[in-house]
C-alpha cells in the first residue's frame, strides 16, 4: 500500500525532471555562442593542454579568467575535443565576436555539463517540493544559464546539496548529513566565489535558532575550506595571496563599474523580464507570464518560510538583499537564489490553494446550515 502511495510522487518528479532536461538540452543545441563562453573555453583549453603534457605543476599557473576559481573550467577541459584545441582562441585573442568562431563540438559538449548539473538541481528541488521543482524547471534564468557553458550551473547544484544536507541534519538521526553540506559549500565556492554568501547565511541561521553548536560549525567550516582548497589549484602556490587577489578583483570591479550606486529594484526586474537574457531561439511571451507568476508567489512564500524559521526563507531574503546592494548586478548572479526562490513560490501557491479550499469549505458549511429547518418555537 505504501508503495502505491509513494509511486505517483516519484512519477511526477520524473516528469518534471524530464521536462526540465528537454528544455535545457534544446537550448544548448540551438543557442548561438554567448558572451563569455569563449573566455571560459579558452581557460579550459589551457587546462586541456596541461593534461596532454602531464605537467601537473602548471595547474597553478593558468591565469585565463583568473578572477574566478578554475573548477568549472577544469571540468570543461575534459569535454574539449583534441582537434578543437587549436581553434579555441587564447586569452590574448579574445575580443568582441571571437566567440562566434568557437568549435561547435567542444562548445556543445561543455554546455552539456551545465545541462546535467541544472537537471540534477531540479531533481533535488523536486524532492524538497515537487511544485518548486516544476517552477525551477521552467524559470527562464535557470533554463538559460544551465544550458550554456557558464560557471553557474555547478555552484547552483552544490548550493542545493548544501541546503539539503543542512536541513536534513536537523533531524537527530541524520546529523551526519551536515558534513555533506560543508563539502558542498567547498564545491560551490571553488566554482564561483559569490556562493560563499549561502554559507554565511547558514551559519547565521544555525546560531540564531541554535540548531548547531560552535564545534559542529567549526568542523563544518574546516570541511568546506579543505574541499575548496583541494578543488582550487590556482591558489595552491600562494593560498592567502592569490585568494586575496581574486577577491580584491571583484571588489574593485564592483566599485569601478558605471553604476556606482546599485539599482535596488534591478534584481526584481531581472527576475520578471526574461526577454533581457533569453536567446531569440526560445523566447516567447509565455516566459513573461510564467516568470511573473513565480515572482509574485515567491514574494508571498518567502514571508511564510521566514515565519516557519526555514533556512530557505533566510537564504531567499539574505540573498535578495545582497543582490539589491551589490554593484555588480549581472543577471547570472540571480542563480544564487533560484532554489529558495522557487521553493518560496511553491509555498506561496500552496498557501493560496489552502485559503481557497478553506473559503470553499466555509461557503459549503454556511449553505448547509442555511438549509436546515428552523428550531421549533
pLDDT of residue 127: 94
As a whole number of angstroms, the distance between CA 348 and CA 314 comes to: 15
In angstroms, the CA 325 to CA 305 distance is 22
Q: What is the pLDDT of residue 373?
A: 43
- CA dist 190 and 196 (Å) reads 9
10 Å CB burial of residue 1 (0-12, 13-18, 19+) is: exposed
Q: From CA 122, how far away is CA 142, in angstroms rounded?
A: 10
To the question of pTM greater than 0.85 for the whole model, the response is: yes
Residue listed under C-alpha cell 587577489: 245
> Taking a C-beta distance cutoff of 8 angstroms, is the pair 343, 141 a contact?
no
pLDDT of 250 reads 62
CA distance 59 to 96: 28
The alpha carbon dihedral of 284, 285, 290, 291 has a sign of: positive
Chain position carrying cell 516544476 = 134
Residues of the chain with pLDDT under 50: 1-4, 372-377
**Distance, CA of 283 to chain centre:** 21
What integer pLDDT is reported at residue 100 of this predicted model? Answer: 67
Cell of 319: 540573498
Task: Tell me how crowded residue 265 is: count the other CB atoms within 10 A of its CB.
Answer: 9
Amino acid at each position: 500500500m505504501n508503495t502505491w502511495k509513494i509511486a505517483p510522487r516519484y512519477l511526477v518528479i520524473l516528469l518534471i525532471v524530464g521536462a526540465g532536461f528537454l528544455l535545457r538540452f534544446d537550448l544548448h543545441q540551438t543557442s548561438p555562442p554567448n558572451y563569455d563562453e569563449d573566455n571560459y573555453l579558452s581557460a579550459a583549453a589551457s587546462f586541456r593542454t596541461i593534461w596532454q603534457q602531464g605537467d601537473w605543476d602548471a595547474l597553478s599557473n593558468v591565469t585565463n579568467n583568473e578572477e574566478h576559481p578554475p573548477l568549472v573550467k577544469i571540468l570543461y577541459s575534459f569535454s574539449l575535443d583534441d582537434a578543437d584545441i587549436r581553434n579555441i582562441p587564447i586569452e590574448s585573442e579574445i575580443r568582441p565576436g571571437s566567440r562566434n568562431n568557437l568549435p561547435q563540438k567542444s562548445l556543445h559538449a561543455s554546455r552539456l555539463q551545465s545541462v546535467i548539473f541544472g537537471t540534477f538541481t531540479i531533481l533535488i528541488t523536486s524532492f524538497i517540493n515537487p511544485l518548486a521543482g516544476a517552477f525551477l524547471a521552467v524559470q527562464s534564468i535557470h533554463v538559460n544559464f544551465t544550458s550554456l557553458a557558464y560557471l553557474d550551473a555547478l555552484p547552483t547544484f552544490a548550493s542545493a546539496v548544501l541546503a539539503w544536507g543542512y536541513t536534513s541534519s536537523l533531524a537527530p538521526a541524520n546529523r551526519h548529513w551536515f558534513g555533506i553540506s560543508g563539502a558542498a559549500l567547498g564545491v560551490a565556492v571553488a566554482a564561483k566565489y559569490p556562493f560563499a554568501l549561502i554559507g554565511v547565511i547558514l551559519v547565521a541561521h544555525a546560531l540564531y535558532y541554535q540548531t548547531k553548536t560552535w564545534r559542529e560549525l567549526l568542523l563544518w567550516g574546516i570541511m568546506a575550506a579543505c574541499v575548496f582548497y583541494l578543488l582550487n589549484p590556482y591558489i595552491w602556490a600562494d593560498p592567502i595571496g592569490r585568494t586575496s587577489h581574486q577577491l580584491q578583483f571583484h571588489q574593485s570591479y564592483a566599485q569601478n563599474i558605471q553604476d556606482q550606486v546599485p539599482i535596488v529594484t534591478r534584481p526584481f526586474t531581472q527576475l520578471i523580464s526574461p526577454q533581457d537574457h533569453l536567446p531569440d531561439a526560445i523566447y516567447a511571451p509565455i516566459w513573461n507570464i510564467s516568470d511573473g507568476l513565480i515572482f509574485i508567489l515567491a514574494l508571498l512564500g518567502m514571508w511564510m518560510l521566514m515565519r516557519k524559521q526555514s533556512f530557505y526563507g533566510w537564504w531567499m531574503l539574505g540573498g535578495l538583499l545582497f543582490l539589491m546592494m551589490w554593484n555588480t548586478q549581472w543577471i547570472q548572479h540571480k542563480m544564487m537564489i533560484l532554489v529558495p526562490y522557487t521553493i518560496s513560490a511553491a509555498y506561496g501557491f500552496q498557501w493560496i490553494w489552502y485559503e481557497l479550499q478553506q473559503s470553499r469549505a466555509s461557503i459549503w458549511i454556511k449553505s448547509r446550515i442555511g438549509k436546515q429547518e428552523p428550531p421549533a418555537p
